[in-house]
A and B are shown apart, each in its own frame.
Chain A
Amino acid sequence: MGDVILKTEGLTKSFGKFRAIDTVDLKFKSGIITSIIGPNGAGKTTAINLLTGALHPDKGEVFFKDKDITSLTPDQRVKHGIARSFQIMNIFPMLTVLQNIELPLLSLLGKNLKWFHTVSHYQDVAEEAEKILRELSLWDKRNKVAGELSHGDQRALEMGMAIASKPEICFLDEPSSGMNPVERAAILELIKRLAEEGTTTFVIIEHDMDVIFALSEWIIVMNKGEILAEGKPDDIRQNKEVVEIYLGEEV
């Protein structure tokens, strides 16, 4: 607990002339739910894309437990224990709910090149998939096509796919976006429970202040590609600069 699990040094990324991320040093500690907040265009999603390998930085390095992973591809980073969910829904819409969860498990359990037996032949995959789907309350819908699920269920499924690969650190990009209050409460509860039970460290990007202050133990505020402030939720709430730029009258 408390060791730095993932950090960046001088991370920089530009899109044309626009500097999305400007020499940023991020640090994430194991076992501490961290939130990244900031106005639109602050560079939050770009930061996650750089950390998980969806984008490559122009300058700077990413370290996972002191190992330089800057040049690794997304799938290699997942193997190290870095997973994510997406801001815009990213599931396998034509596959069933069960198959959606099986895919990360096949990779985790090293079955991804097996080509002769059916997927259901592999007991360890089946057992693990059932466990996760029960956790998500999606077990009864396992044979439904994922694209036909409700929005909330699809969101939960996507989170399930992220945690199925048993990551040490898991980035959730706006996990509650587009949800109604009931679904939102459920997903909050789920994240909390997973964080308490499991060994996964969650890093969350959110716009909803209630979600952030209910969940996080550490908050990083970004603005215009830089870190504006970071600290415990109470400190952030009282930080004048932050209040001015982002929180406004909400707090």
Chain B
Amino acid sequence: MTGLKDTLALSIKRHRSQLCWLGAFIIFLFILPLFSGDYILYMVMRMAILCLLSYSVNLLLGNTGLLSFGQAGFYACGAYACGKVLLAGTSLLPGIIIGVAVAAIVAIILAFFCVRHTAIYFAMITLAFGMMIFSLAEKWVKFTGGDDGLIGIPRASLNFFYIFNIKMNTIPAYYYFVIVATLIAIYFIYRILHSPLGLIFQGIRDSETRVSFVGISVRKSRLICFTIAGIYAGLGGALFAPLEQTITPSTSHWITSTDPIIATLLGGMYSFSGPIVGSVVYFLLKDIIVRLTMNWMLILGTIIIILVLAFRGGVMGAFHAYISPRLK
């Protein structure tokens, strides 16, 4: 046990400044409802959900080297499953858990078809599966409500048997739930990406053949990666359903898949915090530009082109390259 304690102490010492930033950030998130209105809280929740979706994308993209255009499919699976369960009148947790579980199961099944392929083929096959889920959401009217979607999803209260019962009908209450769930999820992805499994993902990104020639099954590792990515997208969707209280088929459209890709590129796909920074910046940009001009897509497009041409590593990549060396 002392070994663990020592490594913990060492890592705290080594990452002191980062831990301070992290602590400040978390405290900020927790006191935010005290001085801001519902609109800001709503925006932060959308950022948090986009952030989960971005981790889903970046687990595949920045870490395993696979670009998926189908993550919205799993997002929608999570959202619809959670919405259906909540409409049946359960409390919040069963909805979230079943939402995540459904997304995970769908991800495992599709993974068997997807992980054999790489590069453009992987992108296309995930796009195709994503659009299949979209048409299912649109056409399976009995279950999904078709074009109208699921309407009136209750923001059910969070209760655990008779131990506690927290009402979620106000925005600040649900805000705390989303923030806590997101922080826990980010903590887990941090552990995964710094673990042996995460190292294997990054190895696959660098050289697939080399990974198989060090004795690791690339297929199996990709399968695991794809499933975890599905779980994260599903969690995002499950949190999204009670927030919006309405789920439409557009949740699963491939356009929804591109938001987290853009956010990841903005934040930096080779940096752990890239998806967080990217999601925040993406929403801020969108929100600010929309107020100034109708043609926000034009401006966002320009920003993306500049990023790809000049700052491959995104905001965090630029930070590590130019700013953080000067701080030392």
Residues of chain A having any CB pair with chain B under 8 Å = 52, 54, 73-75, 78-79, 83-84, 86, 90-95, 99, 102-104, 106-108, 111-123, 125, 161-162, 164-165
Contact = CB atoms under 8 A, between A and B. Distances in A.
A90 B195 contact: no
What 6 pairs between A and B have smallest CB-CB spacing? A78-B215, A107-B215, A104-B214, A92-B206, A115-B197, A74-B212
A92 to B, nearest CB: 4
A114 B205 contact: no
Given A90-B207, A95-B202, A95-B203, A115 B192 contact: yes
Contacts of B215: 75, 78-79, 104, 107-108, 165
Contacts of A162: 213
Contacts of B209: 54, 74, 86, 90
Contacts of A112: 196-197, 200, 216, 221
24 contacts: A84-B213, A90-B213, A92-B206, A93-B207, A94-B205, A95-B206, A99-B199, A99-B202, A102-B199, A107-B214, A111-B196, A112-B221, A113-B196, A113-B197, A114-B197, A115-B191, A115-B196, A116-B191, A116-B192, A118-B194, A118-B195, A119-B196, A121-B7, A123-B3
B198 interface: yes
Interface of B: 3-4, 7, 191-192, 194-200, 202-203, 205-207, 209-218, 221, 224, 270
A217 B266 CA distance: 57
B197 A78 contact: no
A245 B132 CA distance: 60
Contact of A91 (B199, B207, B212): B207
Contact of B199 (A90, A93, A106, A165): A106
A12 B218 CA distance: 27
A94 B201 CA distance: 12
B320 to A, nearest CB: 13
Nearest to B3: A123
- Count chain A CB atoms within 10 A of each CB in B3, B195, B196, B211 and give the residue with the most: B196
Contact of A103 (B194, B211, B217, B224): B211
A161 B196 contact: no
A165 B214 contact: yes
B191 A120 contact: no
Given A75-B216, A112-B200, A94 B195 contact: no
Contact of B214 (A93, A103, A115, A116): A103
Nearest to B216: A107
A119 B203 contact: no
Contacts of A74: 209, 212-213
Contacts of A107: 214-216
Contacts of A123: 3
Given A106-B196, A114-B197, A94 B202 contact: yes
A73 B217 contact: yes
Given A94-B205, A114-B195, A119-B199, A83 B213 contact: yes
Contacts of B202: 92, 94-95, 99
B200 A106 contact: yes
A245 B72 CA distance: 61
Contacts of B7: 120-121
Nearest to B197: A115
Contacts of A86: 209-210
Nearest to A123: B3
A75 B206 contact: no
A125 B196 CA distance: 10
A103 B192 contact: no
Contact of A93 (B198, B206, B211, B218): B206
Given A75-B218, A106-B216, 10 more contacts: A90-B209, A90-B210, A91-B206, A103-B203, A103-B211, A106-B199, A108-B215, A114-B196, A115-B191, A125-B196
Contact of A115 (B198, B207, B210, B212): B198
A146 B133 CA distance: 41
B115 to A, nearest CB: 14
A237 B127 CA distance: 60
A169 B197 CA distance: 27
Contacts of B211: 103
Contacts of B192: 115-116
Contacts of B218: 75
A117 B195 contact: yes
Contacts of B199: 95, 99, 102-103, 106, 119
B185 to A, nearest CB: 14
A83 B216 CA distance: 12
